[in-house]
Structure 1
Amino acid sequence: MKPLSRRTLLRALGAGAGAAALAGCGVPAAYVAPGERAAADRSGAEKKLVFANWPLYIDVDEKDPQKRPTLQEFEQRTGISVKYTEEINDNDEFFGKISPALMNHQDTGRDIIVVSDWMASRYVRLGWVQKMDRAAQPHVDRHLDPLLRKPSFDAGRLHTVPWQSGITGIAYNRKKLGREIRHTSDLWRDDLRGRVTLLSGMDEAFALLMMGNGADVTRWTADDFHTMTDQLRRLVRRRHIRRFTGNDYIKDLSSGDVLAAQAYSGDIIQLQADNPDIEFVVPEEGAELWAESLMIPDLARHKRNAEALIDHYYRPEVAAELAASVNYVCPVPAARDVLASSGEKETAKLAENPLIFPTDDMRKRLATARDMTARERPAFAKEWNEIVGL
C-alpha cells in the first residue's frame, strides 16, 4: 500500500479563520508596495535557502526517508544547501503563522513557501510575495503546463509557480453502484441518496458543483453561486448528501459507507492501488484543475537561490522523479516522456495514468475557477458555512 496522501493530513478549517478573514478583506494597511518587497539578496555569499512545504509532498529515498533525492541532486549540482521543513498543515493556519511578519515588513525566515492557489491569490493581492525573474528560470518558462499559465490572480504567473497540480472530480465504486457516473447530475439520482459526500471547504468544492450546472467557472457570477447553493439546500433537506467532509471521504469510500464522493485525483490513485473498483471521473460538464504553488515571500534573503531551486523542479527529468513519488497531476507535461522511457515497468506505467498526465480529452474539460474577490468572500462564505454546518 502506498503512503497516505499529503492531503489526508489536512485538518478541518477553522483554526485560521481570523487570519483568513483578514486576508479575505485585503486590509489596506497590510499592503506592501512593489518597491518595498525585496531585501538585499545574500545568495552570492550564502549558498543556502529555507524551503517550507507540506508533509508527504516530495520524493524520499526508499531506504532512508530523511533523504530527498531531487533536493540532493540540486545541492550537488549548485552547491546550495537546502533546509527543508514540513511545517505547512493548513493554508489558513500557516497564513496566521507568517502574516505578522509580512504585515509588519519583516523577514519570515523562509525563502520558498507552498500554498494552495486560492490562498496564494491573497498573498499576491496583499503584495506579500516577490516577482520572480523568469530570465533566471528557463525551464519554468519552457515547460510549465499551458493550462496553468494564466491564473486570474497572477497574470503571467510572475509571482507563483505550481509545485504540483490536481483535479477535483468525482470518485465512485463502479461495482457497488452498478452504473457509470459521467455527469455531476448523476450524483443526485435516487440510488445515491444518503450514499454521496461532498467536500466541506468552499474553495475546494464550489467549482465542480457550478460546472455541473453549466457555469463557466473562469468567469462565474453571483447568480451562478446562488444557483449552486440553492441546489445544495434542496439536497440537504432531502438528506441526499450523507455529509460534507474533509479528507475522511477516503475512509468512507474504502469502507463502502458511501458509493460516490467529490474527491481529489491524488487521493484516488492511492485508493485504486488497493481497490480497482474505485474510479475517478472528470464529468462531461468539466472539473476544476487546481495547483499548489511555490512563492518567494517578501524580504527573503536568498531570492536568486530560491529561483534556481524552483527552476530545478521544472527540468523534465526532475519533475518526472517527483511525479513518480507523489502521484499528483504533474505541471510539467514533458515529464511524461521521461517516465515512459523508464526501464522500470511500474514507473513507465505512470506515464499512461490520466490522473498524473490527463488525456487530451480530459484536458478539454478542465478549467481553473476565477478567484473569489475580497468583497465577495465574506457573504459567500457565510452562506456556504450555513449549508455545510461549519
Structure 2
Amino acid sequence: MAHHQPESLSPPQLAAIRRSLTSGRAALTRRSLLRAGGAGALAAGGLGTLSACGIPPATRADSGPSDDHSDEEKRLTFSNWTEYMDVSDDGKHRPTLEEFQRRTGITVKYTEDINDNVEFFGKVKPQLAAGKGIDRDLICVTDWMAGRMIRLGWMQKLDPANLPHAYANLSAPFRSPDWDPGRAHSYTWTGIPAVIAYNKKATGGRKVTSISQLLEDPKLKGRVGMLTEMRDTVGLTLLDMGKRPEHCTADDYDAAIARIQKAVDKGHIRRFTGNDYTNDLDKGDLAACVAWAGDLMQLQADNPAIDFAIPDAGYMISTDNLLVPAGARHRKNAERLIDYYYEPKVAAQLAAWINYVCPVDGVREELAKIDKSLAENPLILPDEETAAKAHAFRSLSSKEETAFEDKFATLIGA
C-alpha cells in the first residue's frame, strides 16, 4: 500500500487518492459493501437472516464486570469495515490506533473483517445466540443492525465511568437514538449523510436541489439514480412529501413507494445503485442522483464538475456504531478505545481521513489545523442550519422491516 504522494496535495486529496488506489472507486468500496445489507440481501433471500423471529436472546446478555479481564489482559480485538481507520501516507501505519497503544499499553488486534451487516450478523449469530463470545471486544455496525443486536440482548451495556470524553463530547444529534436510548450500549463512529449529487456538465450547469427535481424534471429523464438503501431513498422522498421519516406510518411509506414507482414507470430513473453510482456520476451518465457524503468528498477531489445539494426539505443520516458484544473478555479496554476516539484531536485525525460526519463536539478547531476546508465542510461538521435538516429513519419492528423491505425490493427489481 506504499504510494508516493505529492507534498502539495491536501489531506482530503491524499485520503481520496489512497482510497482510490487501495479499494477502487467502484462497486467494491466500503459504502457499497455496507449497504449490501439492503436490497442485495433481499435478492439473496437474506431478510430472513435479519428477522428476530426464532432467534433466542443471548443467555449472557449484558454480561457485567465479573466477566471482564481487562486489568490482567492488556489487549482487545476490534472488528471494523475496510478503509475506516486513518492510515499513514506510506500505508504502513495507523497513526491514531498506534498512539492509543503507546499511551495505554493495550495491544489492539485491529481487523477489517466486516464486509456487510447481513454477512457479519450471520457469522456471529450462532455463538451470540448460544451465549458464547465471538472473540471480539469491539465491533462497528450500522444503526439498524446495532438496534437489532441490542434488542436480542447480544450487546453489553457500557460503563459511563470509563467514557468521560465520549459522554461529554458526543454531539447532541447522536445522543439518544430510538434504538439505543441514552446510548446505553453504543457510541457513534461516524455519521453517513444521504444527499443529492449532480454533475454540472451533465445538467448544463443547472443545480439539482430536490427530490421533486430528481423524480419529475423532464430534462433529467433517464439520467437519474437512486440508492438501493431503502431508508435513504424512501426517507428522502418522504421528506420531499412533507413527511418525517422518524414518524412515518405504513400509509406514508406506501405513498412514497408509489411516487417513486411512477418515476420508474415513466423511465425517469435510470437505475437503483449501490456505491457504483460514483462511476456513472463522474462520467455524466447519471446527471443527478441520491448519494452518500463521504463518496462526494472523494469524487470532488477528482472532478470539479461534481456538486451536491442538501435539500430544503432535509436529508437522511444514518450512523455506524461501536458496541461491545456480550461475552467479550475486555470490555473496559474497549471502552477506553471508544473514549480515546472522542478526544477532539484524535477525532479530527480520523475525520480528516474518512471524510464522513464527525460525531464529536469540539473538533472544529483541531480539524482546521489539519485542513481549514474540512473544518468548514458541512458534510463533515454540519453547522447548526445543516444539522437541523438531518433526519433518521425510525426503527422498525421485525414485521415492519419485512413488509417495508419486500415492497422496496419489488420497486427496485431486486
Asked whether the equivalents of residues 319 and 332 of structure 1 are also in contact (C-alpha less than 8 Å), the reply is yes
Asked whether the equivalents of residues 10 and 247 of structure 1 are also in contact (C-alpha less than 8 Å), the reply is no
Residue 60 of structure 1 and its aligned partner are, at CA, apart by 0.7
State whether structure 2 residue 125 is matched by structure 1 residue 99.
Answer: yes
What residue identity is the alignment partner of 1:213? M
Question: Aligned Cα RMSD in Å?
Answer: 1.9
Aligned to 1:339: 367
Q: What secondary structure, in the 3-state scheme, does the structure 1 residue paired with 2:196 have?
A: strand
Rounded to whole Å, the distance in 1 between the matches of 2:392 and 2:275 is 21
State whether structure 2 residue 380 is matched by structure 1 residue 382.
Answer: no
Q: Which of 67, 75, 79 is equivalent to 1:52? A: 79
Q: Which moved more, 1:369-378 or 1:9-18?
A: 9-18
Residue 39 of structure 1 and its aligned partner are, at CA, apart by 6.2
Correspondence 1:213-228 to 2 at 5 A: 213-228=241-256
Correspondence 1:162-173 to 2 at 5 A: 162-173=188-199
Rounded to whole Å, the distance in 2 between the matches of 1:285 and 1:70 is 37
Residue 349 of structure 1 and its aligned partner are, at CA, apart by 2.2
Residue 16 of structure 1 and its aligned partner are, at CA, apart by 9.6
Kindly provide the CA deviation profile for residues 325-377 of structure 1, in whole angstroms up to 9, marking residues without a partner as x: 1111111131111122x1x5xx2321111111112221111111211221211
Aligned to 2:263: 235
Does the C-alpha gap of structure 1 residues 56 and 32 become closer, same or farther in structure 2, counting only changes over 3 Å?
same
Aligned to 1:152: 178
Q: Which of 93, 113, 119 is equivalent to 1:87? A: 113
Q: What secondary structure, in the 3-state scheme, does the structure 2 residue paired with 1:292 have?
A: strand
Structure 1: tracts of 5 or more residues without a match: none
Q: What secondary structure, in the 3-state scheme, does the structure 2 residue paired with 1:218 have?
A: coil
Correspondence 1:284-299 to 2 at 5 A: 284-299=312-327
- Matched residues, percent identical? 43
Kindly provide the CA deviation profile for residues 291-345 of structure 1, in whole angstroms up to 9, marking residues without a partner as x: 10001001000000000000000000000000011111111131111122x1x5x
Correspondence 1:162-311 to 2 at 5 A: 162-177=188-203, 178-188=205-215, 189-311=217-339
Does the C-alpha gap of structure 1 residues 244 and 16 become closer, same or farther in structure 2, counting only changes over 3 Å?
closer
Asked whether the equivalents of residues 37 and 128 of structure 1 are also in contact (C-alpha less than 8 Å), the reply is no
Residue 210 of structure 1 and its aligned partner are, at CA, apart by 1.3
Q: Show structure 1 runs of 4+ deviating over 6 A.
A: none
Rounded to whole Å, the distance in 1 between the matches of 2:152 and 2:218 is 46
Rounded to whole Å, the distance in 1 between the matches of 2:42 and 2:256 is 27
Q: What secondary structure, in the 3-state scheme, does the structure 2 residue paired with 1:314 have?
A: coil
Kindly provide the CA deviation profile for residues 231-285 of structure 1, in whole angstroms up to 9, marking residues without a partner as x: 1211111111101111100011011101101100000001001112211111111
What residue identity is the alignment partner of 1:134? P
Asked whether the equivalents of residues 347 and 360 of structure 2 are also in contact (C-alpha less than 8 Å), the reply is yes
* Count of residue correspondences: 385
Structure 2: tracts of 5 or more residues without a match: 1-15, 21-28
Rounded to whole Å, the distance in 1 between the matches of 2:122 and 2:283 is 36
Rounded to whole Å, the distance in 2 between the matches of 1:214 and 1:372 is 20
Rounded to whole Å, the distance in 2 between the matches of 1:10 and 1:129 is 20
Kindly provide the CA deviation profile for residues 22-69 of structure 1, in whole angstroms up to 9, marking residues without a partner as x: 433343534557465776111011000000000000001112x23111
Rounded to whole Å, the distance in 1 between the matches of 2:141 and 2:342 is 18
Rounded to whole Å, the distance in 2 between the matches of 1:201 and 1:288 is 11
Q: What secondary structure, in the 3-state scheme, does the structure 1 residue paired with 2:246 have?
A: helix
What residue identity is the alignment partner of 2:345? E
Q: Which moved more, 1:14-23 or 1:261-270?
A: 14-23
Aligned to 1:69: 95
Rounded to whole Å, the distance in 2 between the matches of 1:238 and 1:306 is 51
Asked whether the equivalents of residues 48 and 82 of structure 1 are also in contact (C-alpha less than 8 Å), the reply is yes
Q: Which of 358, 365, 378 is equivalent to 1:330? A: 358
Does the C-alpha gap of structure 1 residues 142 and 35 become closer, same or farther in structure 2, counting only changes over 3 Å?
closer
